[in-house]
A and B are shown apart, each in its own frame.
Chain A
Amino acid sequence: MTPARSRSAARRGLVAGLAGLLLLSLVAAADAQDRPRYGGELVYVVPTEPASYDGHREGTFALIHPLAPIYSTLLRFDPTDRTGTRVVGDLAESWTIAKDGRTYTFKIRRGVKFHDGSDLTSKDVKASYDKIVNPPADVISYRKGQYTAIEAVEAPDPTTVIFRLKWPAASLITALASPFNWIYKADILAKDMHWYETHVMGSGAFVFVEHVKGAYWAGKKNTSYWDKGKPYLDGYRALVVKDANAQVSAVRAERAHVQFRGFTPAERDSIVQALGPKVTVQESPWDCVLLVGMNHEKKPWDDKRARRALTLALDRYQGSQALSRIAIVKSVGGVQVPGTPYATPPAELEKLAGYSHDIAKSRAEAKRLLKEAGVPEGFSFSLKNRNVPMPYEPVAIWLVDQWRQIGLQARHDFIESTKWEADLIAGNYEVAVDTQCSYAVDPDLDLYKFQSMGVSGNNYGRYVDKTLDDLYQKQSRALDAEERKRWVRDFERRLLDEEAHYFYTLQWHRIIPHSAKMRGWTVTPSHFVNNQLDGVWLSE
């Protein structure tokens, strides 16, 4: 080889080598971008504040968002599962269920410490669940009614907890994964059952720093968290921002990374337009829905034909298209959020009253039913509603418009939220917009409300339907998934179609535009779930 050629060969080799090195480093960099980075403070906004600090006592997301990172629960929903239904262990390493479904045995992790340094053992789990399932006379457990199947909780040794049930409960695992079932310290509870209402002390990925009322909450990294290597964040700060526009401004101005409840389509668009690639948008159907409740004690709503007419008149598909542009509603679904294990298969959904794609036929049927029931043309009734702009007002305007198409004159009656609740409870209404939000997508949670008055604490329709109650019990105790699905479908058919006791409008739609720097968080249908922030990290 001539010296020149050998020189150029060497040069080529050098270039190739450099290129290879460059490629390798690029790949490494890209890889590093997807590998969690340590450090940083997550800032998010919360719209309201809770009344107390006790998770067993409250039912509002306003408590979960700022304090869930401080606590551990026995079980939780898998933070990477988009349906928000898969249960994994938090403090529980593993669990077994007896064949008859009446005994659940959990193995608790070793080495978990409370933030005050003491060890967390099974006796703490037992004490916390005793408070939830069977509180003493002056202590309130908000979700006590969900755990009536539990007979006793036992802690035979420091790493085992046993739940003994009175009857098999298909949703017990979901119930135990409730984001509100924080594990408190047994010694503290023994001294003062009300301590946790005004104090915070948990075992979670973050340690509570402070709460300045009306201003913000702050937490810092728990360096002795049991899940070694987590959390990634140095801390978090939850700013209290009550006005919706101010929340949007905060995210737009990059003062906050995220708001964990949900924004409207217009707000999302304005944030995306302003920040472009610096924002990621995650969306999901929401386990919240606006229902139409009819007072069965007032004519003509005691007649199921009139009730069916109301739901047949709604063109849900067109409504979904139009309203999803301006409001936080979108999916057309049955009693379970579409995409979850017990959701209604599309073929069956079509058959339910008001879900047919042939709206002309549905409306003709509705008019016929009204005539049969003796409801005159142009019949006027009041639609009581909360005067909250999103999404109550848009949905109500749509409802009135749809009912006008079958010759009914519904009058808007917007009232202040508190009065609306009071009126619903007292039965002081004809037709009203009602609402339901559950902390997880589960038939037990989502169907409870519709049982007879007297059985369900918030059946505002004031009806008694023993068949429905029976179906609820059957699905609640069916351990076989397929059998349970059948019962749920039966329940749904009776509720929405045959009797039309209550009906669903459109499923809410959860839109979370967040800073692209925030990684490791997946949206789910529930705004109560996936708020422990242990897997969240901030990229560069």
Chain B
Amino acid sequence: MTKYIVKRLLLMIPTLLGVAVLIFFLMRIVPGDIVELRFAGESSYAQKENLDKERARLGLDQPVWRQLVTWMAGLARFDLGTSMWTGAPITEEIRLRFALSLQLAIMATIVAILLAIPLGVIAALRQDTWIDYVVRVISIAGLATPSFWLGIVFILGLLIVFKWLPPMVYTPFWVNPVQNLAQLIWPALAVGYRYSAVATRMTRSAMLEVLREDYIRTARAKGLWEKLILSRHALKNAMLPVLTVIALEFAFLIGGLVVTEQVFNLNGLGLLFVEAVGHRDYTLTQALVMLVAFVFIFVNFMVDLAYAWLDPRIRLR
């Protein structure tokens, strides 16, 4: 088992390196210059000397390879650097937004699980009946609606019908749980509903698979409820692909909910991403990409570990 763990850990490194190099060069291929962007804006009077001063201050006049080395050396020290746009340390820029995105991701995942597992199980127990159809239609509807559309409908609905708007400013959960939940429950529902779709489907097929086991099938005399109880052990293993899917989607939720954040006015990582790229803020974009990639790779690693643990061939090695 230890050999397996070590091997997987080592494999994380080239992936992270690859992501780092990719984002570094990708940002520099994209046309547009942060300095020109700041000082050649809507008002007139842009002066060339201003532009050159800024470039020197940001280190953009250095040769590209040296910029790369400086940055990667910083990464190795876990120093993300400072934002080119505001000059503030990147950890400061990210901190609050990461807290929000993380909480939203967790809440959405909980909503997804709470929807997917019961619905999937029921659909499987009553396969090919109208209940099955209804569940499938509901979950596919979740996949089919554009997320921003759902968000706009939510907000308009709250506004027009209840004349109420969720809190506009993020308060951390430990500061004021009511305010916090009042703001985040709506996007969590919208996002969770969408993500439950895939999980519902997988739960259904996993449950169906378990129901085909002989000892379950032969218990024809017993009711469906009994079948459920009998299958609970087998269900645990069958749920593994479901949990895999949920875990992978969770990684996507961090920093990927750009449209949701825009519509619900959330100060999260997604919008920070878009802003950073729009500003051509190299350091901030690079740091954000590394963060998101790391979360994704880490979650993948944990899932691999879970599989390995459950597979005695690997565990006992």
Contact = CB atoms under 8 A, between A and B. Distances in A.
Contact of B168 (A60, A145, A250, A437): A250
B169 interface: yes
Interface string B10-43: 0000000000000000000001110011111111
B42 A435 contact: yes
A329 to B, nearest CB: 16
Contact of A213 (B92, B165, B280): B92
B251 to A, nearest CB: 23
B28 to A, nearest CB: 14
A225 B317 CA distance: 76
B263 interface: yes
Contacts of A435: 42
A356 to B, nearest CB: 30
Nearest to B268: A214
A244 B263 CA distance: 9
Interface size class of B (residues with CB under 8 A): 35 or more
Nearest to B46: A457
B168 A241 contact: yes
B263 A425 contact: no
B88 to A, nearest CB: 8
A142 B32 contact: no
A347 interface: no
A418 B278 contact: yes
B143 interface: no
A473 interface: no
Contact of B263 (A141, A145, A245, A458): A245
Given A435-B42, A448-B44, A458-B46, A215 B164 contact: no
A51 B86 contact: yes
B159 interface: yes
A359 interface: no
A449 B44 contact: yes
B263 A419 contact: no
Contacts of A282: none
A422 interface: yes
A245 B152 contact: yes
Given A418-B278, A419-B32, A458-B40, A144 B262 contact: no
B44 A456 contact: yes
A261 interface: no
B96 A214 contact: yes
Interface string A211-255: 011111000000000000000000000011111011001101101
Given A213-B92, A215-B169, A215-B170, A436 B42 contact: yes
B38 A215 contact: no
Contacts of B264: 246
Contacts of A413: none
Contact of B278 (A417, A422, A436): A417
Contacts of B32: 416, 418-419, 421-422
A383 to B, nearest CB: 19
Given A213-B92, A239-B169, A249-B155, A425 B40 contact: yes
B278 A250 contact: no
A132 to B, nearest CB: 12
Interface string B32-72: 11001111111111111010011001000000000000000
B267 A240 contact: yes
B47 A144 contact: yes
B53 A145 contact: no
A436 B43 CA distance: 7
Contacts of A138: 53, 57
Contacts of B54: 140
Given A140-B50, A242-B262, A422-B33, A438 B40 contact: no
Contacts of B204: none
B45 A243 contact: no
Interface string B154-175: 0100010001110011100000
Interface centre among A416, A417, A457, by most chain B C-beta atoms within 10 angstroms, is: A457
Nearest to B272: A214
B45 A145 contact: yes
A245 B57 contact: no
Q: Which A-B residue pairs are the 4 nearest by beta carbons?
A: A418-B32, A253-B165, A246-B265, A457-B46
14 contacts: A51-B38, A140-B39, A140-B53, A141-B50, A142-B45, A145-B47, A214-B267, A245-B155, A256-B168, A288-B42, A416-B32, A425-B40, A437-B43, A439-B43
Interface of A: 51-52, 59-60, 137-138, 140-146, 197-198, 212-216, 239-243, 245-246, 249-250, 252-253, 255-256, 288, 416-419, 421-423, 425, 435-439, 445, 448-449, 456-458
